[in-house]
Amino acid sequence: MALLERVATLVRANLNDLIDKAEDPEKMIKQVMLDMQNQLLQVKTQVAIAIADQHLLIKKQKENEQAAEEWVRKAELAVDKRQDDLARVALERSMAARQIAESFAEQVADQTTQVENLKTALRKLELKLVEAQNKSDVLVAQHRRSRALDRASDARLRVGDGSKAAAFDRIKDKVQRSEAVSHAKAELAVENVDDRLAALEKEDAVEKLLAEIKSRKGMA
């Protein structure tokens, strides 16, 4: 049956492999769960129909077996009444009923096998569905953690990109040069003040020496 083949495919399915291959693992998990639930409903329906058919076949088998026995009873009655022609007819009908009963017996055997196969498929699918339900939350969480790690790794790679590092170094060098220029200007400003003060001190000393010479020569 195509239904049993689909069920077998779902039962054999490895959820981890399906998720690894899926572009959207969470969507894949939901789809697998939905497929399993749909197939489970179909299998349950088929099991119910198969069991009903099995009961009907068993009923038909028993009816024909009883009919065969009843025709034998009627044949015996005809023999007792010394009506062999009626006994022969009754026996022929008994044989026909017996053949039909045997045919139904074969159908019952086939149907019983089919019912067992469907029940087995149903049990396996129910177990697989429970397994999938238990795994789904864990797998979704794993996928989300993996996706977050990938994003973090991508961010680190972008930060560590050579061109960005070079740009950062250039900015750093520019800041350092700017600081150096500022320090140099500050130092020059300090040196200019010192020079001016030194010049004033030198000029004052010269004036004092000149005054002393003039005083000694009475040229005040």
How confident is the model at residue 173, as a pLDDT? 72
Examine the domain organization and report whether 216 and 194 are in the same domain.
Answer: yes
Q: Are residues 73 and 119 in the same domain?
A: yes
- Residue 148 predicted with pLDDT over 70: yes
Tell whether 25 and 130 lie within a shared domain.
yes
84/35 Cα distance (integer angstroms): 66
pLDDT at 201: 79
Contact 22, 94 (CB under 8 A): no
Do both 131 and 168 map to the same domain? no
127 with 24, same domain: the answer is yes
Comparison of pLDDT for 34 and 23, the residue scoring more: 34
Same domain for 30 and 137, yes or no, is: yes
Please give the radius of gyration of the chain, using alpha carbons only, rounded to the nearest integer: 53
Q: What is the pLDDT of residues 68-90, one digit of tens each?
A: 999 999 999 999 888 889 899 99
Measure the CA–CA gap between 90 and 99, rounded to whole angstroms.
14
Domain count along the chain? 2
Q: How many CA atoms, within 13 angstroms, populate the side-chain half-sphere of residue 147?
A: 12
Q: What is the largest CA-CA distance in the chain?
A: 196
Q: In Å, what is the CA distance from 66 to each residue of 2, 19, 75?
A: 37, 59, 14
Residues 6+ apart with CB under 8 A from 60: 104
What residues make up the domain containing 147? Answer: 2-159
